[in-house]
A and B are shown apart, each in its own frame.
Chain A
Amino acid sequence: MKRIVTVLDRWWFPVVSPTRLAVIRILTGIFSVWYISRRGQWLDPFERKEADLFDPIGLATLLDGPLPPNTVEFLGIATTVLGVMFILGLWWRLVGPAFAALFMFTLTYKNSWGMLFHTENMLALHVLVLGCMPSANVFALDPWIRKKWSTPLLGWLGFVRGTTEAHWKIGSAIRMLQLGTTLPYVVAGVAKIMGPAGWGWAIGSNLRDQVAMNGIWYAMTTRKVREITYYIYDYDWPWTVLAVVTLIVEFGAPLAMLHRRLGYFFIITVLGLHWGIDILMAIAFKYQMCGLAFACFIEWERVLGWVSRKLEPLRGRIGPARKSSS
């Protein structure tokens, strides 16, 4: 029993370098700020005109009705500003959770207009985990500020000292990010087999119907349909292959947490899944398709170490050249 506990402890609380979590914080932060500032452009004018379409969900159910346009504008600006501080790792103990909460609220509010964007679930979960964990120990302004002005007041105000030492807290944060990445796929898989087709979903006819339905919706709304749908609609085998692969990827997703190589394999297969969805259905899961959603499966400290080693000879070459030119 003790051995099992030890194995589980090592697996769930691996000692990991803070570099890994910091890189994920920066990448996810950049994507979030880009995403929210992009969305903010249409949120405000939209809500000024169509207030009767407000259908609050999640956190937004706490509101009596749509927010005034000025508040929405402020929400967009505040989320963006906090997002930039999140990327910089500035005033972390305050900004981390504040950005996570505000980002979650802004996306929830945006999803409260009659349409849930499933493409945003994973991003919201990742920002929530990153904001509440020690993600600003390195590559952040907080440790630099604490080093420059060594007054205890800064610590009291919420500026983190940071450490370059590997710690289980970093490892467990990575595990939580991986949970947020893999478990939604399991839910999507369960949703498929709990439908009327059951495990028969794997035959592929439901998938074909869903793709065709989506195609008709696109045709009648935007006049644009993916041409590939016409070509493969009449064949059975592509749909069976796609359906079986989808179920395997979705139910097998948590296995990616067991080993680094399984993680890499998961990234390749799930990237294929999302690019496939975009090609067939014109539904772009941007966060997933660009690969940032799976950054928690990459050992960034090793990647950076490798890049640093590769750049070493280059530095050597640049050095003498500078000397000779002077």
Chain B
Amino acid sequence: MNKTMVTLLSAALTFSILAPIKEGWRGVYGDSFPMSWYPMFSKPRRPLERITYMVGVYPDEKRTVIPSTYFVRGPMNQARRHVAKYGRNSTKSMELCERAAKRIAKAETGRQSKIVQVRLVRGSFSREDYFGRRKKLPVVDYVKAACDVPGRDPIDKPNRGTALKYKKGKRVME
């Protein structure tokens, strides 16, 4: 290997790392591996953050977030993307919901043993409310799937697409 060859290799390495700066060279999804564009930095942020997630519902309609490890694998960002992908399909949404409900049904003591329904929802959160005012409920949740926890008294199940709105820390009935 002579110096010309090494110079060419270095130039190729430099070019491939810097290539994603050009819009057309960022890969199929606007990002690739191991040469990345880091699109999360350049994406405009919406006023409300949207995320598909799972909640457990108590008989009094109060809710608690169910960790993704109960129904999908992988670290946070991967789990989030998979749940969002499942949420777009009604059959898959129900499968995921039932998987979480079965897991919750195993709890015999503690708060989880009181959860009667599991819902997969697409929620919209205000960053300002969440971190500025510590109001941790979403502005609105759109139901993707709802299912009863086996062996527990059922409550009314919202249909797919139902909007559950929240205001001042409480659910607003419409």
Q: Across the interface, do A223 and B67 meet the contact criterion of CB distance under 8 Å?
A: yes
Interface 9-residue window, one of B32-40, B101-109, B157-165: B32-40
The reply to whether the CB of A190 lies closer than 8 angstroms to some CB of chain B is: yes
Would you give 9 A-B contacts (Cβ < 8 Å), ordered by A?
Answer: A9-B3, A42-B73, A46-B73, A114-B85, A125-B13, A183-B14, A212-B49, A220-B123, A221-B80
Q: Which of A274-326 contact B (CB under 8 A)?
A: 282
Q: Which of A167-225 contact B (CB under 8 A)?
A: 168-169, 172, 175-176, 179-180, 183-184, 186-188, 190-192, 194-196, 201, 206, 209-210, 212-213, 215-223
CA distance A124 to B28 in the complex (A): 20
CA distance A186 to B41 in the complex (A): 13
Q: Across the interface, do A215 and B130 meet the contact criterion of CB distance under 8 Å?
A: yes
Chain B's closest residue to A113 (CB) is B78
Chain A's closest residue to B35 (CB) is A121
Residues of B close to A125: CB separation below 8 A: 13, 17, 34
Residues of A close to B125: CB separation below 8 A: 216, 220
- Among A104, A168, A172, A222, the residue within 8 A (CB) of B34 is A104
CA distance A82 to B174 in the complex (A): 62
Known: A168-B3, A191-B39, A233-B132. A12 touches B34 (CB 8 A): no
9 additional contacts, CB 8 Å, given A121-B35, A194-B42, A217-B77? Answer: A13-B3, A13-B6, A118-B38, A179-B13, A179-B17, A212-B130, A220-B53, A220-B80, A221-B51
Q: Across the interface, do B80 and A217 meet the contact criterion of CB distance under 8 Å?
A: yes
CA distance A186 to B36 in the complex (A): 11
Interface 9-residue window, one of A26-34, A49-57, A136-144: A49-57
Q: Across the interface, do B38 and A191 meet the contact criterion of CB distance under 8 Å?
A: yes
The reply to whether the CB of A230 lies closer than 8 angstroms to some CB of chain B is: yes
- Among B34, B76, B80, B85, the residue within 8 A (CB) of A53 is B85
Q: Across the interface, do B74 and A42 meet the contact criterion of CB distance under 8 Å?
A: yes
The reply to whether the CB of A107 lies closer than 8 angstroms to some CB of chain B is: yes
Residues of B close to A175: CB separation below 8 A: 10
Give, as a whole number of angstroms, the nearest-CB distance from A19 to chain B.
20
Give, as a whole number of angstroms, the nearest-CB distance from A51 to chain B.
12
- Among B31, B42, B65, B131, the residue within 8 A (CB) of A220 is B65
The reply to whether the CB of A37 lies closer than 8 angstroms to some CB of chain B is: no
Q: Across the interface, do A55 and B29 meet the contact criterion of CB distance under 8 Å?
A: yes
Q: Which of B90-115 contact A (CB under 8 A)?
A: none
Q: Which of B53-76 contact A (CB under 8 A)?
A: 53, 65, 67-69, 72-74, 76
Q: Across the interface, do B33 and A120 meet the contact criterion of CB distance under 8 Å?
A: yes
Q: Which of A116-149 contact B (CB under 8 A)?
A: 116-118, 120-122, 124-125, 129
CA distance A107 to B80 in the complex (A): 20
Residues of B close to A158: CB separation below 8 A: none
- Among B36, B83, B123, the residue within 8 A (CB) of A116 is B36
CA distance A104 to B32 in the complex (A): 13
Q: Across the interface, do B10 and A179 meet the contact criterion of CB distance under 8 Å?
A: yes
- Among B45, B53, B131, the residue within 8 A (CB) of A233 is B131
Residues of B close to A42: CB separation below 8 A: 73-74
Residues of A close to B68: CB separation below 8 A: 221-222
Give, as a whole number of angstroms, the nearest-CB distance from B88 to chain A.
12
Give, as a whole number of angstroms, the nearest-CB distance from B22 to chain A.
11
Chain A's closest residue to B68 (CB) is A221
Residues of A close to B1: CB separation below 8 A: 169
CA distance A201 to B132 in the complex (A): 21
Chain A's closest residue to B79 (CB) is A221
Q: Across the interface, do A58 and B21 meet the contact criterion of CB distance under 8 Å?
A: no
- Among A13, A213, A218, A223, the residue within 8 A (CB) of B45 is A213
CA distance A210 to B13 in the complex (A): 30
Give, as a whole number of angstroms, the nearest-CB distance from B25 to chain A.
11
Q: Across the interface, do B10 and A12 meet the contact criterion of CB distance under 8 Å?
A: yes
8 nearest A-B pairs in the assembled complex, by CB-CB distance: A195-B42, A115-B78, A233-B131, A220-B53, A212-B127, A124-B34, A183-B17, A121-B34
Give, as a whole number of angstroms, the nearest-CB distance from A303 to chain B.
26
Residues of A close to B53: CB separation below 8 A: 220-221
Residues of A close to B83: CB separation below 8 A: 221
Residues of B close to A240: CB separation below 8 A: none
